[in-house]
Amino acid sequence: MNQQHNEISVGGDVGGNVVAGNGNTVGAAPAPRAEQRPAVDGMAPRLGFVVDVVGFGHRDAESQAELQHRLDELVRRVLADLGIDPEDTIGSDSGDSRLAFLPAGVDWSRVLPTMISAMGERLGRDNRRYRDRMRLRMSIGTGLVGTGPLGFTGQLVVDLHRLVDSEVLRQSIRDHPDTDLVVLVSQALHDDVIRPGHLDPADFTPVTVTAKEFAAPAWLRLC
């Protein structure tokens, strides 16, 4: 497990506000909070996500450093669109990917639509500014998360990495060369947010993810 960080680092410039599909500006307002759920044995329910750069290893060292800089800034800007201070999140990085958990108590039904919209909008803006096109795989889920001496604890940590590294997601972005962002949402988060209509269920395709000892349904969206 990579070294834990208390904040997402800052770099690059993907500036400006994101305008959601309904014409409202997404930005500085704090994210609404759901009723706080109790922590269990030092663990708390959180929404987490992983973003991973496609083809990172095929770049030279200078290009990789620039992509890391851009990805850090992208994640920071998306958190700002959610009204969340990066210092209130916990996360880690592994060079070509970023893992982040939002503060316990945020309203998932409000955060998820904005997160997906903002990530797609800001990634598009970023790519219009650089020759090196950045394409991302993303996984999003919810569950109990804790911290230990070697990093994060809880099944969600494993599940998010299984989803983002899955062949389903890798094949999806290979099959859609004009798409810069592909997202897998966990079944639990789909049941809590998408199925009730906070996002259009028709935008998501059911898939089955299998990897090593992991097998789970998930929901795919091309952005």
Q: Which two tokens stand for residue 139?
A: 């996984």
Instruction: Kindly calculate the radius of gyration of the chain based on its CA atoms and give it in whole angstroms.
Output: 16
pLDDT digits (tens, 9 = 90+) for 47-79: 999 999 999 999 999 999 999 999 999 999 999
Q: Which two tokens stand for residue 209?
A: 């993810």
> Closest Cα to residue 29, out of 74, 67, 81, 93?
81
Q: Which range is least confidently modeled, 12-21, 72-81, 112-121, 134-143?
A: 12-21
- Nearby residues of 61 by Cβ (< 8 Å), 6 or more positions away: none
- The structural domains of the chain, with segments of one domain joined by +, span 43-222
The CATH code of the domain at 43-222 is 3.30.70.1230
For residue 222, give Cα distances in angstroms to 37, 90, 153, 203. Answer: 31, 27, 30, 8
| E strand intervals along 58-188 | 90-93, 97-101, 136-148, 151-153, 181-186
Note the pLDDT of residue 39: 46
* pTM of the model as a whole: 0.81
Contact call for residues 181 and 119 (beta carbons, < 8 A): yes
Cα dihedral 114/186/178/123 (nearest 10): 40
Across the chain, mean pLDDT equals 85
Q: Which two tokens stand for residue 2?
A: 């990579």
